[in-house]
Structure formats: structure tokens, C-alpha cells
Structure 1
Amino acid sequence: MNMTGKNCIVTGAASGIGKAIALKYISDGANVAIADLKLDAAQAVAAELTAMGPGRAIAVEMDVTDEDAVNAGVQKTVDDLGSVDVLVSNAGIQIVHRIEDFPFSEWKKMLAIHLDGAFLTTKACLPHMYAQGSGTVIYMGSVHSKEASPLKSAYVTAKHGLMGLSRTLAKEGGLKGVRSHVICPGFVKTPLVEKQIPEQARDLGISEEEVVSKVMLGKTVDTEFTTIEDIANLAWLFAAFPTNALTGQSIVASHGWFMN
């Protein structure tokens, strides 16, 4: 299996997990649109990864909550690269509050980025994938696609929703050669997770060390964080797999934090 010549869009790819996935794809000969809200950061990453090769990267400015911006970004990708074979819906943020304290505006923001963004990017890519009779859509879920945690009602709701979207797409897209999957990471020490440590310490009334050792890693088998490389390898597997034998699936990479 390989990704030579595949053209991909990775949202939120200017940093963290998205950048690691883009690097993995490009190192295997794929071309990647680095789609990010921050164009300057996307351009810098695109130049960096293109220099590494053998695939190449382009920068695409994209607010995944804006339908016009998503449609324009997908069209730019097709115009520049020739097609879209793989979509990785990865853009996301984290906001934590107890349900009774969760501002409705922040609830809507969370669902818009995680769930609306996945829907809008999928909707924009599908006509191109259907026209060529092939494609793979990969959603960045979470252990919280399977499990719940205090303070994360909006995040858990959105990540559970991605499971339903992926399974529906697998049913609708199968006869047209399009498959879908959800990657469900455990705690990956990115800025998104590091930001949660003091927030959860405050809201749970415990120390930051306890947040890491008990809340984040307490249920793992080895008290280790999942790495961005772990997740990039799974994204490669789903994108490179050659047939519809593998579709509608979710894989948890969490050091045993959650086991199917």
C-alpha cells in the first residue's frame, strides 16, 4: 500500500496532529492541501513540507465553519492538484465547562468547528470524489467519540456525532467508491491538550499534576501520552488502504484508555 500521487486535504494542518498527518502523506508521495484558518502558518508549513518531499504541499486558507470558504478551498485544491482523493477533517478546538456553566455561544462554537466543519468539508469534497469513483474521508474523532468525561459536554457531543456522520457516509458512498473512517485518539500532548491542564485543575479543584496523572493518563495501561506520529500512522493506513473492505470503521489509539 502507498499514497503515491494521491491528492489530499487536511484541515487544521498548520500545526499538531494535522501537520503530522500531512508530513506522513507527503513523505509517501502524496500531495496535500494544508487547509487552515491561519494562511501565513499554512504557507510556512506548505513550504517546509514541499522541501522535504517527495510529494508537495499547497496552502489553502479555510474557515471550516464558513460554507463559502470551504467550497472555495476545496475548489482551489482541485484546481491546483487536479483532484481530491482524501479528506482529513481534523480542525478542532477545546473549551471546557460544567454543563450548567457552559455559555451557549461557546457550545455553538464547539459544534460548529468540529461537527459543522466535518459536514461542510465532506459535502464540498463528495461531488469530486463521486465523479472519479473513489475517495476516502477521515474524521478526527477522539476517545470521547466512545466515552464521556466531565466538563466536555460540547466536545463529547460533537465527537459522538462524527461517528454517525462517518457511518452514514460509508453507507451512502460505498457504491460510488467512497469510504469513511474515524480516528479516535486518546490524550495527545498538543497545545489543545496542554491548554486543558490548568483549566481542568481549576474546574475540578485538583492540581495540574493530578489532571495529568489521574484524569488524562490514569486509565492508560502504561501512563503514556499518545503521540502525533501514532495518529499520523493511522491516518496513513486508512488513506492508503486500497479497497472498500475497510469502511465505516473507527480505531481508538489511547494506550488502553478505552478498549473496544
Structure 2
Amino acid sequence: MKLKDKVCIVTGAASGIGKAIADIYAGEGGKVVIADLNLEAAQKAADDIVASGGQAMAVAMDVTSEEQVNDGVAKVIAAWGTVDVLVSNAGIQIVNPVENYAYSDWKKMLAIHLDGAFLTSKAVLPHMYAAGSGSVIFMGSVHSKEASPLKSAYVTAKHGLLGLSRVIAKEGGKKGVRTNVICPGFVRTPLVDKQIPEQAKELGISEEEVISRVMLGGTVDSEFTTVDDIAQVALFFASFPTNALTGQSLVASHGWFME
């Protein structure tokens, strides 16, 4: 098993990509922490893992709250003694052209995606440093590399994760901690489903055109990236044995973006 007895915190893990990552980590022997704003849903996800023979616990966590992040990590330390892997995955989407983008929405987007990555990293790094090893994984996006209309805050936050990851890689390398950014293309989750009618309205096209042109038009096979695709990348980074890939990002987008 690639993650046997490794303590893995995954934020936003009650559903979608986060849940797929939590499930694959548990299947590889990890002790998985389902950290989510919705404690009831987090507990159900943890219970499902336990029922399948894995190890999991749930913690309530608003990643924009330093107090909740620190409290959640403290509960993990009390239960399992350390943190080996952090996947900062919690996120939302709000689309609007810049001139109509509410400042409150801008701040909310950056707080969840960027502040959340900072606060969770800050909370776990001392424990990783004490252990002399650890993996920090940020959920970026193709929009960490590329811009799209209507997504100013999202693109800004996802670009920012690359910088934060690289700094942690520089600071943590000699202490055994590595960091990476996963950059998915469009994954058919509720977050993406919500964007389809919103973008259709803003762009003046049909929902079918949003899917075929905006979301999948640049792929090589007109296929959505899947939650399992991303979970496999998250497993690869979490279980990689050396610092050789630290500070790097990996795009998984069915060829939409290539570098």
C-alpha cells in the first residue's frame, strides 16, 4: 500500500474531487481526515470509508477561519499524532465580468482558494517539519496557467497557488517536505454544473455550446477530466518518494492545456 498509516488531511472532501482523493488514499492504507464545511456530509464520507475497511475521521473546517483550521488540525494531532499529507482542495466558483464582479465575491474567492491553502499549510507544516517529511498538495486548475473570461478571482487565486507552492518547496526541502499543484481541466462536478447556465447567460450562447466549445473545445477527445483522473495524480504526488518533483505542477486536462 502506497500510503500505509500516513495521516492525510483533505479539505473539501465530503464530495467531488476531494472525496475521490480521500477514497483512493484510504484504499492505499492512509488514515484520512475528511475536512469540510459541512460536518454532517464529512462524517458520512468518513463513515463510508470505515465501513469499507479503511481509517477515517471527520472534522468541521472553514478554511478561511484560522481558528477552525487550527482547531481541526489539533483534533487530528490528538487522534493520530501527526500529519503526513495535506491536500488543499476546498473551493467554489463565482463567474462575472470584471466590471460587474462584486468586491465581496472577489474577497470570498481569494479567501477560500488562496487564504485556505495558506492557513492549512501554516497549520500542518510544523508537524511535518518535526517528522522530517511531508507532502503538501494544492488543487490548482488549468486556470493556474491560463485565463478565461468571467473568472478574474478564480484565475488570480489559482495562479497564486503556484507561487505559494514554490515558496513552501524552497523552505521545506531541507526539512523533508515537498509540495505540488494539481491543475485539472473541467471536471464534471456540481461546481462545474453550476457554471454551465451561468456562462451561457453571460456569453449569450446555449448550455450545450458552453460544454462543447468553452469547456471541451480545446481537449483532444471532447471528454471531461474525471474525479478519478485527479485522485490518481493526487496519489502519485502524495506517495512520491523524493524531492525530485517538489515545487512542480501537473496539468490533467485531456490535452486542453499543454506545456
Matched, 1:212 2:211: yes
Matched, 1:145 2:149: no
Partner of 1:178 in structure 2? 177
State the SS of the aligned residue for 2:120. Answer: helix
> In 1, Cα distance between the equivalents of 2:153 and 2:47?
35
Letter in 2 for 1:199: E
> In 2, Cα distance between the equivalents of 1:137 and 1:125?
9
> In 2, Cα distance between the equivalents of 1:105 and 1:189?
27
TM superposition shift of 1:195 = 0.2
TM superposition shift of 1:164 = 0.2
Post-superposition, which runs of at least 4 consecutive aligned residues in structure 1 deviate over 4 A?
none
Letter in 2 for 1:111: L
Deviations 1:29-56 (A, max 9, x none): 0011100000000011100011113x30
State the SS of the aligned residue for 1:105. Answer: helix
> What stretches of structure 1 of length at least 5 have no aligned partner?
none
Letter in 2 for 1:96: V
Letter in 2 for 1:204: L
Partner of 1:14 in structure 2? 14
Partner of 1:46 in structure 2? 46
State the SS of the aligned residue for 1:14. Answer: coil
Partner of 2:160 in structure 1? 161
TM superposition shift of 1:244 = 1.1
Deviations 1:169-197 (A, max 9, x none): 00000000000000000000000000000
Partner of 1:224 in structure 2? 223
Letter in 2 for 1:173: G
State the SS of the aligned residue for 2:241. Answer: coil
> In 1, Cα distance between the equivalents of 2:178 and 2:20?
22
> In 1, Cα distance between the equivalents of 2:4 and 2:58?
20
Matched, 1:82 2:81: yes
> In 1, Cα distance between the equivalents of 2:80 and 2:226?
29
Letter in 2 for 1:13: A
> In 1, Cα distance between the equivalents of 2:77 and 2:23?
20
Deviations 1:120-142 (A, max 9, x none): 00000001001111100000000
> What is the alpha-carbon root mean square deviation over aligned residues?
0.7
> In 2, Cα distance between the equivalents of 1:4 and 1:16?
23
TM superposition shift of 1:78 = 1.2
> What stretches of structure 2 of length at least 5 have no aligned partner?
none
Deviations 1:74-94 (A, max 9, x none): 111111122100000000000
Q: Percent identity?
A: 72
Deviations 1:86-128 (A, max 9, x none): 0000000000000000000000000000000000000000010
TM-score (norm 1): 0.99
How many residues get paired?
A: 259
> In 2, Cα distance between the equivalents of 1:50 and 1:102?
43
Matched, 1:105 2:110: no
Aligned pairs for 1:194-205 within 5 A: 194-205=193-204
Partner of 1:28 in structure 2? 28
> In 1, Cα distance between the equivalents of 2:161 and 2:75?
25
> In 1, Cα distance between the equivalents of 2:171 and 2:113?
21
